[in-house]
Amino acid sequence: MATAPELDAPVATLDAFRAEVRAWLAANFPASLKGKDNALSALEGPTELSPDEIAWKTAMGEKGWGVPGWPAAYGGGGLDKAQIRVLNEEMARAGAWNPIGGMGVMMFGPTLLEYGSEAQKQEHIPAIAKGQVRWCQGYSEPNAGSDLANVQTFDEDAGDHYIVNGQKTWTSGGQWADKCFALVRTDKSQKHGGISFLLLDMTAPGVEVRPIAMISGQSPFCETFFTDVKVPKENLVGREGQGWEIGTRLLQHERNSLSGGGGASRLFAGKPMGKLAKEYRGEDEQGRVPDSDLRMRIVRHEMDSRAFALTLRRAALEAKSNQGPSAATSIMKNVGARITQDRAELSIEIMGMAGLGWEGEGFSEDELTQTRTWLWGKAVSIYGGSTEIQNNVISKRILGMLDHQ
């Protein structure tokens, strides 16, 4: 029988690494942060960090374990998949969490490691690995959402630099970002082949950001305007016209992260569904939720959630064994979105009127948070590529179905 890929390393070596990780966490992870929410992973910000949070972020960044699988030459941990598994197990055991994240980690960094020049990797990857630079994504435009290849933000060749003019929308975290990776048009004569992948400084003259207020009361997204923005030519990733290839590869990394981060991380967030139901619906004489139909739907949801989490783990191992995420991330993204939305809907049903509060003393903080989580969840099947777009990817790239002419 073949050895499982995550167990390839000698047991003795892994035991020694486990001891190293355990000792390092004991020396560097502040006890005050155990069991607390990861404030450093929030989309909205900047967040006021405590001295312990700053120390923890610095320690993980210097160690490279915020991005444990990235090459050590660029500030990553340089760990293999077996070591990463041990690191994750020991962090969970210690109640520790990863303070290094954001779009630089989940999308741009992995893409730059594949397509960037050596100079670009040396310039950008170490800062991402240490959590020192915040990135945003310049993809969608008012007339280029589902039809992303219709981007019209134009990148004019001005000799030793580019001049960028145009507009992006739904720029997540744009008002707090330092830099932006964007799809821009360098050739108007062809649709997909006229797109390039460019890196922009969000503090450059001509960049304007306008936050978009959401129904949830938050403003995590922006409209971003570029007016005669000068961009050095060394900020072009790959070659001119290669943007669609690079951009779609980045989307695979995004969907891979969203299926695990946007979906799975919320599947088990908060109280278990059974416990929540007993708090709001009570128990019968056998200690069960009285409503048998509700019990069955809770069980089905938990089964789907657990099966999805296990599938994510298997897919992650396969991705590390091959060449990174594949088109199968579209399946994961759709399933993760459905389960996340199902959980929010089920929670609201369980809580009744208590789950529909917006403000006021009649609701607890958890109840008010649940309302906003429910509203936020409506976007999960849209951002990162809508369910319909993912279905197209699945039909073409996995099932081999072609468009009928």
- Residues acting as catalytic residues: 254
> In which region does residue 118 sit, left (phi positive, over 0), alpha (psi from -120 to 50) or beta (all else)?
alpha
Cross-strand partners of 236: 198
Dig out the tokens for 154 from the structure.
């134009």
b/e map of 371-385 (b: 16 or more CB within 10 Å)? bbbbbbbebbbebbb
The residue whose two tokens read 């969907």 is 255
The Cα–Cα gap between 223 and 336 comes to: 27
Q: Is 308 helix (H, G, I), strand (E, B) or coil?
A: helix
N-terminal to C-terminal alpha carbon distance within the chain = 47
What six digits make up the tokens of 3? 């050895």
Question: Which residues neighbour 27 within 8 Å (Cβ) at sequence distance 6 or greater?
Answer: none
Q: How far apart are CA 130 and CA 59, in angstroms?
A: 9
Helix (H, G, I), strand (E, B) or coil at 116: coil
Residue 358, Cβ density class (10 Å: 0-12 exposed, 13-18 middle, ≥19 buried): exposed
Q: Among residues 209, 322, 315, which one has the least CA distance to residue 258?
A: 315
Q: Which two tokens stand for residue 272?
A: 């278990």
Query: ∠ CA(349), CA(355), CA(359), 5° rounding?
Result: 160
Distance between CA 316 and CA 313 in Å, rounded? 5
Between CA 79 and CA 98 the distance in angstroms is: 15
Q: Is 303 exposed, middle or buried (0-12, 13-18, 19+ CB in 10 A)?
A: exposed
